[in-house]
Amino acid sequence: MCGIIAVSKRTAALADVLDILRGALESLEYRGYDSAGVAVVIPPEAVTGKAPAGKASAGKAPDGQEVSDDKIWIAKSAAGTGSLNELAKKCEQFVLSVGNAPTDIVAGIGHTRWATHGRPIEANAHPLMSCNGEVAIVHNGIIENYFELGAQLQKDGHELTSETDSEVIAHLIESELAKDGSADVGDNGERLHKAVLKTVAALKGSFALAIVWSKAEGTVVAARRISPLIVGITSDLILVASDIPALLGYTRELFALEDDQVVQLRPGFLKLTDIKGAEIEPTPMNVDWDVQAAQRQGWDDFMCKEIHEQPSAVRDTLMGRLLPNGTLTLDETRFSDDELRSIEKVFIVGCGSSFHAGMVAKYVIEHWVRLTTEVDIASELRYRDPIMDSRTLVVGVSQSGETIDTLRALREAKRQKAKVLVVTNVVDSSMAREADGVLYTRAGPEIGVASTKTHLAQITALEILALYLAELRGTLYRQEISQLLKALAKLPLKLEQTLAHEAEVSLVADQFGQANTFFFIGRHVGYPVALEGALKLKEIAYLQAQGYAAGELKHGPIALIEPGVVVVGVATRTLLWEKLMANIAEVRARGASVVLVANQGDTETAERADAVLWVPTTHPLLAPILDIVPLQMLAYFLAIKHGNNVDKPRNLAKTVTVE
């Protein structure tokens, strides 16, 4: 998804601010993007060299750089994943040509664009300018009424030059500034704030916005509806970004904008208002991630690092909940025990890997807690008219806490008076703030687009929740619970043992490196593991991979099984192992190659496979936490063998903030 950064810095040269913008855009890269751009308001005292070529009102120099008469410099690149490199070169040339004297204050904005409305070309890359070249904006989200707004703006004489839904915002702000009677007198930061208030009131849809105006030197105004936006503050620097990792290197003094809030910022000045202009006090965020956690630290890529961080992700998620005396505590969810006892039905909702974690939870909650549990894809649940009430617990599962489909589904649940609990990795994320209760996974920042450590942490947190409910509602004996807690506590060590098989998994990837059709099958809790294994292979290796409930194969998909197809079975020892083996026999009989996830030393399973992915034994309902790991590694090695960038797979975004 698009990434936004805005900066205002005191006693800075242009190069300082451009460096901060570039660095922040690099840390937003993982969200997925196809073009990028920056804009800075040029303070006159910064210009010591000759003025840049192509100076014209929002005009374009031959090299694609734009400079308005009113001193906003813009550079863009639509070179796909090479955009940020190209942009860095343009910034260097610009600084060389205009000079780099220190000035009192410099403000700028930057953007990585993940195309929705309009092709990934420079004209559609952000920042986008108003006609007079005085206002530049960056936007994440979708303006649903852009067509009507654009038509009216054109009638009023504005010239729209991009194919985006976002450009109207710059023109609307320009119009509002023009209507303002106090033109060119008074506090221009305040004038911009008011113009943005009027503009966002006219917008339908979702937005995270950052705006600079050439006449409001050093001021950034930002606004939010649905799409996330975080503000970071130091004594001489303010930053606004789409997510926390972009800010971690500068400050932990952060707060998140809420829906329909607008903020006006300069170092030493902050004014936060609601959409009507009433002032609000920001609520600080509590972020305990450190900068290193969001860096590669010598690993080849983030995905590999994060796969190897899984033992600590699970350990940290258990920490403080699994007490040394073998009992469980879960005070932090904000629900009273009576409230949790009153629940009659559970819905679990999420997208992608988070949905798969929710599927595992359905099996465990139904089995251990004996509560009817539905699990649904968020974008489906939201619009299928589900029936909920105050005795329904809706559990939203989301690594980012910002996925728009899940956020909307949870809002629908709240509208129906259900109790909403969120399992998320991001403290004070939108879902965490809006939910009635939160259960944080403690996996640390996940930068690789493919979820790995956060997925395992989600399953761990959901298993803890299920055991807590079982204890509270008396559906499991104390002794059963304590055995399960002991088994949970052993998982970090068993994950380390699983990761020790990495080299063998790489050989299996070599063995099937030429295959291009994969089926992942499993039964019971092995079924969501199969779906997750297939999703990993699709998203980073770009291979045809289908995930199926093994028993369902013979109801249609088996027609696709033929020599050359690889069937990956989740064959650790569960109640349904024999039945799964029957399904494996069916695909072998039709010529498929078979790879099985099996418990260490289980020769009976190994005999039925062309290759084996070993995992330690654990309680069958905890097994997904181990079984998914070799499938993550298999997808990883196949992706690397195909020469893919595993951290930034094509077409994908880390956090999906559009429906």
**Residues identified as active-site:** 2, 654
Least distance (Å) from ligand M6R to the CB of residue 337? 28
The reply on whether position 451 binds ligand M6R by CB under 6 A is yes
Site string for ligand M6R, 428-447 (x = CB under 6 A): --------------------
Q: State in Å, rounded, how far the first CA of the chain is from the last one.
A: 11
Of residues 135 and 449, the one with the C-beta less far from ligand M6R: 449
Counting beta carbons within 10 angstroms of the beta carbon of residue 129, is it exposed (0 to 12), middle (13 to 18) or buried (19 or more)?
buried
Using CB under 6 A, which of 273, 403, 593, 618 touches ligand M6R? 403
Instruction: Choose the binding region for ligand M6R from 74-82, 203-211, 393-401, 558-566 (rule: CB under 6 A).
Output: 393-401
The reply on whether position 449 binds ligand M6R by CB under 6 A is yes
437 vs 331: CA distance, rounded Å: 10
The reply on whether position 539 binds ligand M6R by CB under 6 A is yes
Instruction: Choose the binding region for ligand M6R from 161-169, 400-408, 562-570, 636-644 (rule: CB under 6 A).
Output: 400-408
DSSP 369: I
40 vs 72: CA distance, rounded Å: 6
Of residues 449 and 587, the one with the C-beta less far from ligand M6R: 449
379 vs 389: CA distance, rounded Å: 20
The reply on whether position 639 binds ligand M6R by CB under 6 A is no
Of residues 463 and 539, the one with the C-beta less far from ligand M6R: 539
Least distance (Å) from ligand M6R to the CB of residue 549? 19
Instruction: Choose the binding region for ligand M6R from 251-259, 315-323, 448-456, 523-531 (rule: CB under 6 A).
Output: 448-456
> b/e for 593-618, b at 16 or more Cβ within 10 A?
bbbbbbbeebeebeebbebbbbbbbb
Least distance (Å) from ligand M6R to the CB of residue 187? 39
135 vs 379: CA distance, rounded Å: 36
Q: Where are any strands of DSSP class E within 291-435?
A: 345-350, 372-377, 392-398, 419-424
Of residues 285 and 377, the one with the C-beta less far from ligand M6R: 377
Least distance (Å) from ligand M6R to the CB of residue 386? 19
Least distance (Å) from ligand M6R to the CB of residue 652? 6
Site string for ligand M6R, 54-83 (x = CB under 6 A): ------------------------------
**CB count in 10 Å sphere of residue 477:** 11
318 Cα distance to chain centroid: 23
Please name which of 546, 452, 565 lies closest in space to residue 498, comparing C-alpha atoms: 452
> b/e for 461-472, b at 16 or more Cβ within 10 A?
bbbbbbbbbbbb
426 vs 432: CA distance, rounded Å: 8
Torsion of CA 332, 334, 336, 340, to 10 degrees: -90
Count the site residues for ligand M6R by CB under 6 A. 16
The reply on whether position 219 binds ligand M6R by CB under 6 A is no
Could you give the 3-state DSSP secondary structure of residue 635?
Answer: helix
200 vs 152: CA distance, rounded Å: 16
Site string for ligand M6R, 487-526 (x = CB under 6 A): ----------------------------------------
Of residues 13 and 570, the one with the C-beta less far from ligand M6R: 570
51 vs 98: CA distance, rounded Å: 6
Least distance (Å) from ligand M6R to the CB of residue 546? 16
- Residue with the shortest CB distance to ligand M6R: 352
619 vs 622: CA distance, rounded Å: 5
Please name which of 226, 177, 180 lies closest in space to residue 203, comparing C-alpha atoms: 226
**CB count in 10 Å sphere of residue 118:** 16
**Positions 305 through 364 that interact with ligand M6R (CB under 6 A):** 351-354
Least distance (Å) from ligand M6R to the CB of residue 294? 16
Could you give the 3-state DSSP secondary structure of residue 535?
Answer: helix
**Positions 227 through 266 that interact with ligand M6R (CB under 6 A):** none
Of residues 357 and 609, the one with the C-beta less far from ligand M6R: 357
Whether the Cβ atoms of residue 545 and residue 538 lie closer than 8 Å to each other: yes
Please name which of 382, 385, 386 lies closest in space to residue 374, comparing C-alpha atoms: 386
Using CB under 6 A, which of 400, 430, 546, 599 touches ligand M6R? 400
Of residues 353 and 605, the one with the C-beta less far from ligand M6R: 353
Least distance (Å) from ligand M6R to the CB of residue 350? 6
Least distance (Å) from ligand M6R to the CB of residue 539? 6
The reply on whether position 406 binds ligand M6R by CB under 6 A is yes
Site string for ligand M6R, 136-175 (x = CB under 6 A): ----------------------------------------
Rg of the chain, C-alpha, whole Å: 26
Least distance (Å) from ligand M6R to the CB of residue 1? 10
Whether the Cβ atoms of residue 57 and residue 106 lie closer than 8 Å to each other: no
Using CB under 6 A, which of 399, 460, 572, 593 touches ligand M6R? 399
Of residues 103 and 406, the one with the C-beta less far from ligand M6R: 406
For residue 484, give both structure tokens. 């399960």
Positions in the binding site for ligand M6R (CB under 6 A): 351-354, 398-400, 403, 406, 449-451, 535, 539, 655-656
